Chain A
Amino acid sequence: MSASALMFYILSAFILGAGLLAVTTRKIFRSAIWLLFSLTGIAGLYFWLQMEFVAAVQIVVYVGGIVVLIIFSIFLTQRSGMELPVPARGRILFSALAALAGFALAFTLIMGYHFQPWEGGAPLQGGMLAAGAAAGPVEAGGASIGNIGTQLLSADQGGYLLPFEVVSLLLLAAMIGCIVIAMKVKSADK
């Protein structure tokens, strides 16, 4: 097992472990921190996959943005040390069952199909990237920031200008929505 593979398994265990703790721990603040760890782990996974830009965005947006937002909201709505209420036993049972069954189903189906690239791509060997295939377009700078930037603002085939603009509009709308709702309405408390 190479270091790279070891790295992967450690990251994976970290991601899953932190994720599991994030959804099970009784303290809400700890839960948020475990989430933070899990998300950071995922950023690590992106690094491991040589998708540095995505990893960066992951850290900036998720870790830097969303988790902070969540922690703020926890402060706004909760006393930090408070224990979370325990869900009903039946619900835990059914949820666990659903999650396990779902996982079994989904993973069986994923395993059942041997993912192969479409015509032209280098086929996987035993599910792993072929030795030479690693040096694909990605290696040649496909996933480089410059490349991503160019494509993001291109209106041609393979360009992402339209989604970019749409997302900007979406963010604007979301912002308006947040402000309107979270804003204290003066007359509300009369």
Chain B
Amino acid sequence: MNQIPLTHILFVSTALFFIGMYGLLTRRNLITMLMSVELILNSVNINFVAFNRYLYADKLDGVFFTLFIITIAAAEAAVAIAIMIHLYRNLNSIDVEQTDEMKF
């Protein structure tokens, strides 16, 4: 790992971030949108871990942040899925295009 510059890792994380964002913007299914969000969060995690490892290895701030992000992502995903399921019951669909009753 001594031969890999930090920027390469950052390239991966940034790319993953925008892949996730692309998914979030294009996917019409709410669950796939949630999956895209998870990808984005993971890209952030990579950032934290990489920075911690490369630059600030004397402390574990980045690592801990990553751990908490993972936890929260789980909680968020759980609540989101609960809401989606509820929506599915009400709407019989989880197509994001159909959640536009309120607008303008």
Do B22 and A96 have beta carbons less than 8 Å apart?
yes
Contacts of B1 in A (CB 8 A): 4-5, 8, 48-50, 129, 134
> Residues 12-41 of chain B: 1 if any A CB is under 8 Å from the residue's CB, otherwise 0?
101111111111011111011011101100
Do B18 and A103 have beta carbons less than 8 Å apart?
yes
> Residues 50-83 of chain B: 1 if any A CB is under 8 Å from the residue's CB, otherwise 0?
1111111111100110111011111111110111
CB-nearest residue of chain B to A84: B29
Q: Tell me, rounded to whole Å, the shortest Cβ–Cβ distance linking A68 to chain B.
A: 11
Do B86 and A19 have beta carbons less than 8 Å apart?
no
Number of interface residues of A (CB under 8 A): 96
Do A124 and B6 have beta carbons less than 8 Å apart?
yes
A81 on the interface (CB 8 Å rule)?
no
Do A137 and B6 have beta carbons less than 8 Å apart?
no
CB-nearest residue of chain A to B95: A85
Q: How far is the CA of A48 from the CA of B46 in the complex (A)?
A: 12
Do A12 and B12 have beta carbons less than 8 Å apart?
yes
Q: How far is the CA of A170 from the CA of B54 in the complex (A)?
A: 31
Do A87 and B31 have beta carbons less than 8 Å apart?
no
Interface residues of A in 135-190 (CB under 8 A from B): 136-138, 142-143, 147-148, 151-152, 158, 160, 163, 167, 170-171, 174-175, 177-179, 181-182, 188
A128 partner, pick from B6, B21, B49, B72, beta carbons under 8 A: B6
Do A99 and B35 have beta carbons less than 8 Å apart?
no
A positions within 8 Å CB-CB of B: 1-2, 4-5, 8, 12, 15-16, 19-20, 22-24, 28, 31-32, 35, 38-39, 42, 45-46, 48-51, 53-54, 57-58, 61-62, 65-66, 69-70, 73-74, 76-78, 84-87, 91-92, 94-96, 98-100, 102-103, 106-107, 110-111, 115-118, 120-121, 124, 126-129, 131, 133-134, 136-138, 142-143, 147-148, 151-152, 158, 160, 163, 167, 170-171, 174-175, 177-179, 181-182, 188
- Besides A23-B35, A66-B73, A151-B64, 10 more A-B contacts (Cβ < 8 Å) are A12-B12, A49-B49, A51-B52, A69-B81, A70-B81, A91-B26, A103-B14, A103-B15, A107-B10, A148-B63
Closest 3 A/B residue pairs (Cβ): A23-B23, A127-B5, A95-B25
